[in-house]
Amino acid sequence: DAPTVARGVYPATKLAAEHMLEAYSDAHGLAVVALRFANLFGRGTYVGGSRGGAAFDELVRAPLRREVARILPAVAGRSEWLYAKDAARAIVAAVERPELGRFTVVNIGSGRLSGPDDIVAAIRAVVPGAEFARAGEPGRERRQPFDLTAAKHLLGWAPSYTLAAAVADYVADIRAGQASP
């Protein structure tokens, strides 16, 4: 319900897509749920060109190759990170939910802000001895996490993974060969 401000072309296209969905909903009586995701990480989040997802993925994979991981600007600031498996559960919840009404926007996130030190600690917990180096200034930082009230009440959804649990799960998937780059 918070006002949206699109600072840049990419966020403007996301907001424009929401407006298009709302217009179609109005014009054709479609029930639409638009999920607004926090920064995603985990298997596949980097395939479509997500800088944050790719930078997070490399932070995890480099130590597994015994390389120094570079903390790139996309992950150098405080932000809200959502594990791909939690995002998938939110999508299923939205699809399986009875009709919520004409047009509904729901925030999907972890509900917590994490900085690079938090990410590094989560990786080191499952990859002892992992080494990291900063590579640039932090990008845009969030001031507060998403409000997940609508996700809980409308979809019955809440995140299952903490950052540490998500990183541990992702590392296990990579080691098992289930998360190819």
Query: Greater confidence, 41 or 101?
Result: 41
- Residues facing residue 41 across a β-bridge: 83
pLDDT at 2 over 60: no
Mean pLDDT, residues 7-21 = 87
pLDDT at 115 over 90: yes
Mean pLDDT, residues 41-61 = 87
Percent of the chain with pLDDT over 90: 67
Residue 42 binned pLDDT confidence (cut-offs 50, 70, 90): very high
CATH, domain range 9-174: 3.40.50.720
Residue 132 binned pLDDT confidence (cut-offs 50, 70, 90): very high
Give the Cα-Cα-Cα angle 123, 126, 132 (nearest 5 degrees). Answer: 35
The SS3 assignment for 34 reads: strand
**CB-count exposure of residue 110 (10 Å: 0-12, 13-18, 19+):** buried
Q: Delimit the domains of the chain by residue range.
A: 9-174
Q: Is the pTM higher than 0.75?
A: yes
Give the side-chain half-sphere CA count within 13 A for 153. 7
Cα–Cα distance, 54 to 50 (Å, whole number) = 6
Instruction: Give pLDDT, residue 180.
Output: 67
Query: Greater confidence, 8 or 73?
Result: 73
Chain centroid to Cα 23, Å, comes to 26
Residue 164 binned pLDDT confidence (cut-offs 50, 70, 90): very high
